[in-house]
Chains A and B, each alone.
Chain A
Amino acid sequence: MSQERIDEAITREYAAGFHTAIEADTLPPGLSEETVRFISARKNEPDWMLEWRLEALRAWQQMPEPQWAHVDFPKIDFQSISYFSRPKSMEERPKSLDEVDPELLATYAKLGIPLHEQEMLAGVAVDVVFDSVSVTTTFRQKLAEAGVLFCSISEAIQEYPDLVRKYLGTVVPRKDNYFAALNSAVFSDGSFVYIPKGVRCPMELSTYFRINEANTGQFERTLIVADEASHVSYLEGCTAPMRDENQLHAAVVELVALDDAEIKYSTVQNWYPGDAEGKGGIYNFVTKRGLAHRNSKIAWTQVETGSAITWKYPSCILRGDNSVGEFYSVALTNNRQQADTGTKMIHLGKNTRSTIISKGISAGHSSNAYRGLVRISPTASGARNYTQCDSLLIGDVSAAHTFPYIECKQPDAVIEHEATTSKVSEDQLYLCQQRGLDEEKAVSMIVNGFCKEVFRELPMEFAVEAGKLLEVSLEGAVG
């Protein structure tokens, strides 16, 4: 491909990179006990919640920043970040979509999430988190009829305090890691889902996250509890405006699948990746973990194309006997992006099974690492794991790394690990072009083929979206 076309592709703008002019109520930068008290007070939280946050903050202040990931970035000044921002018009929460600031709704329309339309057509219930505050939850009524609770975590703290108190921090403890502790102290909003016993959630649940304000960190907290023999499929999507400075996103997601329950959690992550020289972009430092009880199943599917740095390991603790954990991942990096992502499968129960399918695609000057842990504890007799890690390189200056950790303390466990590294070959491109396909279409087709095993795990409409997202992210990636 010619240098011109590479240049053209590099200068292509990030499609979701607009900023919406909405008056915001933003806390000045800085992090102290006062900050935490302010956030908690603004949300009218009960005392136990404030105490919970403060303990997390104290723990965080004692913790060193982790250095082990295969990523490289300047030290973050946590005092220069604002920990709370919300659109001003949210002072009084809207009662229905009609009362939501039209500018906000227009933002989501730009992102391709026409809420009204989705209400009518898609059958997807959407919770939207804009900067720090959850703006609206569609379909509330219909879900309530099924007994499903789907609201922002702030509301849940007010309305379902017992449920929140019972499960919050049980899967990802406050002191779990540096960024989880930070999140526990300052989380501003996020989603809460509860599926009652035996209920199959009647629709896909979905959250869209958007960081709008400059210098704001986003710390959302998601808690999904699937009670016995229930079933839910949940999708999150993420975008941010283009900014020259880096923005921090440190989320925590906790999933609890009680006996015989099933949770499918899909992510299409397209945070702003920074420009071609690596200026700006989101630091995506996220802790996601699910706890699987007896006969339950947790499946993570992620398509990661955004963020300057991704540091993320959606994991499963397979505590209950016969529980199942799955991880399907496509991580694509281009330009100067860095990703260190993978999963942890912790086998505790008997006959627990896990599957890991990871597809890493590196283009430009990017670096893409898979880091995964499979741990079979002595109690996990009959445990089984299958891991497949494939890396695809595009161009000759990108990098792919694989760091698989396997700890097995149970002699009858079966663990399989397969790994491949390949390049989009000139011969493949030539074949496609000889048959009349242009280069971009050819690359996108080859990459989509490479990702097929993961895409087919996504809900149908998002599989299409993910394919398109890859196409956009890859434009001009071939040298």
Chain B
Amino acid sequence: MLKIKELHANVDNKPILKGIDLEIKAGEVHAIMGPNGSGKSTLGHVLSGRPGYEVTAGSVEFLGKDLLAMDTEERAHLGLFLAFQYPVEIPGVSNMEFLKAAVDAVRESRELDALDTVTFMKQAREACSAVDLDQAFLKRGVNEGFSGGEKKRNELLQMILLQPTLCVMDETDSGLDIDALQVVAKGVNDLRNSERSFLLVTHYQRLLNFIEPDHVHVLSAGRIVRSGDKSLALELEDKGYGWLVDEVA
């Protein structure tokens, strides 16, 4: 599904990613771990095409297409979803309006008719209960005045409605209490199937207790320095990142 080869990227002319190789197959869950500043979040933004994130070398193939040649919204149309670490507020634009516009835009790109409002409302309400968010949030401005946990659940809500093919989750677990973490984990586990893949960016092994990854990668100084199965995450929990970073250096 996703093939990243020798990916280099700069932010503000500073090299952050220095040769990433990663392949994700349909249905797999990959976790990217690593110390602060290692480039974990940058990888997510480069994949989704954030302005200002400049790819200097390498290639990314997504569902057989050249991902890096596409606009941000085209990548979204193709099924790439990024759950933000710090979701922004859009005052005055209701969550419902925003969600409907997003779902319609994605459907339109696939030459599907827009959902009628009744059908959409029904889906939106179901998604709300799946992420344990009161339906009143649908009427509020996008993330406007939401708590940290509510914002993260709102990201998950969008993910459920958009039904993406590849979900990149950027530290969705950070700042969540244990209950909220379980809600997010359940949401992700419910979405798991043989067609859909996940790339979980996280600092902590904690999330992986609830979402069991197929592969774990450690990112350090812009490169993947170690890959393994879920036991690698446990080892990191035990020993920290230092030994890996030292080993590479």
Interface of A toward B, CB cutoff 8 Å = 425-428, 430-439, 441, 445-446, 448-453
| For the complex of A and B, 6 pairs with smallest distance between CB atoms | A449-B92, A449-B93, A435-B102, A436-B76, A433-B72, A436-B105
Roughly how many angstroms separate A435 CA and B97 CA in the complex, as a whole number?
A: 13
Complex contact B92–A430 (CB within 8 A)? no
Stretch touching chain A among B5-13, B80-88, B197-205: B80-88
Task: Tell me the interface secondary structure of chain A in the complex.
Answer: helix
Which residues of B (73-127) have their CB < 8 Å from a CB of A?
73, 76-77, 81-82, 84, 87-88, 90-93, 97-98, 101-102, 105-106, 109
State the CA gap A381–B46 with chains docked (Å). Answer: 61
Tell me the complex Cα distance, A134–B168, Å.
61
Q: Which residues of A contact B97 (CB under 8 A)?
A: 445
A426-B51, A449-B92 as given contacts; A437 in contact with B101, CB under 8 Å: yes
Q: A435-B98, A436-B76, A436-B109 are in contact. List 4 more A-B contacts (CB 8 A).
A: A434-B82, A438-B105, A441-B101, A441-B105
- Kindly list chain A residues whose C-beta atoms are within 8 Å of the C-beta of B91: 449-450
Contact (Cβ within 8 A) B77 A431: no
- B50 in contact (CB, < 8 A): yes
Q: Are A435 and B162 in contact (CB under 8 A)?
A: yes
**Contact indicator B101/A431 (Cβ below 8 Å):** no
Residue of B nearest to A429 (CB): B51
Chain B, Cβ-Cβ closest to A438:
B73
Beta-carbon contact of B106 and A436 below 8 Å:
yes
Interface residues of B, CB < 8 Å — how many?
Answer: 30
Most buried by A among B49, B87, B101, B158: B101
B92 pairs with A452, CB closer than 8 A: yes
Contact A431 B88 (CB under 8 A): yes
Q: Does B220 contact A (CB under 8 A)?
A: no
Is the pair A434, B72 in contact by a Cβ cutoff of 8 Å? yes
Q: Enumerate chain B residues within 8 angstroms of A426, measured Cβ to Cβ.
A: 51-52
Q: Contact between A450 and B76 (Cβ–Cβ < 8 Å)?
A: no
Q: How far is the CA of A433 from the CA of B48 in the complex (A)?
A: 9
Find chain A residues with CB under 8 A from B50 CB. 430
- Asked whether, in the complex, the Cβ of A430 is within 8 Å of the Cβ of B98, the reply is no
B88 touches A427 (CB 8 A): yes
Q: Which of B76, B101, B158 contacts A445 (CB 8 A)?
A: B101
Q: Which of A436, A445, A449 counts the most B-chain CB atoms under 10 A from its CB?
A: A436
- A432–B82 alpha-carbon span in the complex (Å): 11
Closest CB in chain A relative to B121 CB, distance in Å: 18
Q: Does A448 contact B92, Cβ atoms closer than 8 Å?
A: yes
**B141: CB under 8 A from chain A?**
yes
Among B76, B106, B162: residue with most chain A CB under 10 A: B76
Residue of A nearest to B93 (CB): A449
Docked complex Cα distance between A60 and B142 (Å):
52
CB distance from A25 to the nearest CB of B (A): 48
A430 touches B158 (CB 8 A): no
* A434 near B92: Cβ-Cβ < 8 Å: no
Q: Which residue of A425, A436, A437, A451 is within 8 Å of B88 (Cβ)?
A: A425
CB distance from B166 to the nearest CB of A (A): 12
Tell me whether A436 and B73 are in contact in the complex, defined as CB-CB below 8 angstroms, given that A426-B51, A445-B97, A445-B101 are known contacts. yes
Do the beta carbons of B76 and A449 come within 8 Å of each other?
no
In contact, A431 and B92 (Cβ under 8 angstroms)? no
Cβ contact within 8 Å between A428 and B92: no
Q: List 23 A-B contacts (CB under 8 A).
A: A427-B88, A428-B88, A428-B90, A430-B72, A431-B88, A432-B98, A433-B73, A434-B73, A434-B82, A435-B76, A435-B102, A436-B73, A436-B76, A436-B77, A436-B105, A437-B101, A438-B105, A445-B90, A445-B97, A449-B93, A451-B92, A452-B93, A453-B92
Q: Which A residues touch B105, using CB under 8 A?
A: 435-438, 441
Residues 27-65 of B, flagged 1 when their CB comes within 8 A of A and 0 if not, give 000000000000000000000111110000000000000
Give the distance to chain A from B137, nearest Cβ to Cβ, in Å: 16
Q: B177 to chain A: closest CB distance in Å? A: 24
Q: How far is the CA of A438 from the CA of B75 in the complex (A)?
A: 11
**B102 contact from A430, A436, A451, A452, Cβ within 8 A:** A436
CB distance from B82 to the nearest CB of A (A): 5
> Which of A428, A434, A452 contacts B48, CB < 8 Å?
A434
B93 close to A448 (CB less than 8 A): yes
The answer to whether A446 touches B84 (Cβ under 8 A) is no
Known: A430-B51, A445-B98. A435 touches B158 (CB 8 A): yes
Kindly provide the distance from the CB of A23 to the nearest chain B CB, expressed in whole angstroms: 47
Q: Which residues of B contact A446 (CB under 8 A)?
A: 90, 93
Residues of chain A lying within 8 A (CB to CB) of residue B93: 445-446, 448-449, 452
